[in-house]
Amino acid sequence: MVRAQSVGDADGVSFWFLMQWAAELQAAGRHDEALGVFTDGVHDGRARLEVGRVPLAELTWRLAHQAAMLEAAGRHAEADRAREEALALLAELAETGERKTWSNIVSWWCTQFAWSGRSAEPAACSGAPAPAFGTDVGHWSPDVRRTYFDGLPRLEKQVADLGKAAAADPDGCLPDLVLLHRRLTIRATLDRNRHACGFHGPLRPLFDEQVALTRRLAGTGQDQVPLRQALTDRCLFLIAARRYGEAYDDWVEAFAVPD
């Protein structure tokens, strides 16, 4: 399993801990407290960037996740400021890349990506315990990992079957397909990362298809928010793949999409 180095650790409190704590608070319905804890991690990231102790990519991921939490809390102006700050970091990445070389940091993004999809996951039950979202997949219990990843082939079949139905009835099936395909994309991403397999090539078609599906959905006159989310997801993936110019373009397009 590929795990990020502790480049973002605060003195005495790591960002891994803050992320896990925030996820647990959010799961308990304590959303304001969760946002406060995660925001502490963003502040720490800014301070560490100034002294070269955190990658530009990692702070960008933190800001993107914070923006989504702020948006969910109805704090739209603050969310916009977080996105603008992330845009400035992306502009630097696209222009000159990271300021120095880092070892693998992809697990930071993978963990936040999985956490962002928790609401679409089935409720836990005795035969299928829920993962500890906000925690690195390597720290999930073996039975949770087995259940989560053994479900991949079934999820792939469900997406394929629903894709056929959506071709015949886009108005009725396309919204469900968009949700299910994002679940598949998240699980496939975590599966690739834990096995240290090739990253960009195998996963890129999933992110491209998610954008294509949400473009179709927006074209039917339905909700455009999924398109913004799909573009954001692909942007953050492209940062992990070090395709910074493409990531910048997706970020700009995402926030030109009407709310």
Q: What is the pLDDT along the chain (259 residues), one digit of tens a residue?
A: 333 333 344 444 699 999 999 999 999 999 999 999 999 999 999 999 999 999 999 999 999 999 999 999 999 999 999 999 999 999 999 999 999 998 888 999 999 999 999 988 887 777 777 889 999 998 999 999 998 999 899 999 999 999 999 888 877 899 999 999 999 999 999 998 887 666 788 999 999 999 999 999 998 887 889 999 999 999 999 999 999 999 999 999 999 987 6
Burial of 224 (0-12, 13-18, 19+ CB in 10 A): middle
- What pLDDT, on a 0 to 100 scale, did the predictor assign at position 197? 63
One fold for 1-119 and 140-259 = yes
CATH pick for 1-119 out of 1.10.3470, 1.25.40, 1.10.1740, 3.30.1140 = 1.25.40
- What pLDDT, on a 0 to 100 scale, did the predictor assign at position 8? 41
CB environment 121-148: b (16+ within 10 A), e (fewer): beeeeeeeebbbbbbbbeebeeebbebb
Q: Where are the domains of the chain?
A: 1-119, 140-259
Level-2 CATH architecture, domain 140-259: Alpha Horseshoe (1.25)
- What pLDDT, on a 0 to 100 scale, did the predictor assign at position 1? 33
pTM of the model: 0.92
Long-range contacts of 124-132 (CB under 8 A, 24+ apart): 132/20, 132/23
- What pLDDT, on a 0 to 100 scale, did the predictor assign at position 220? 83
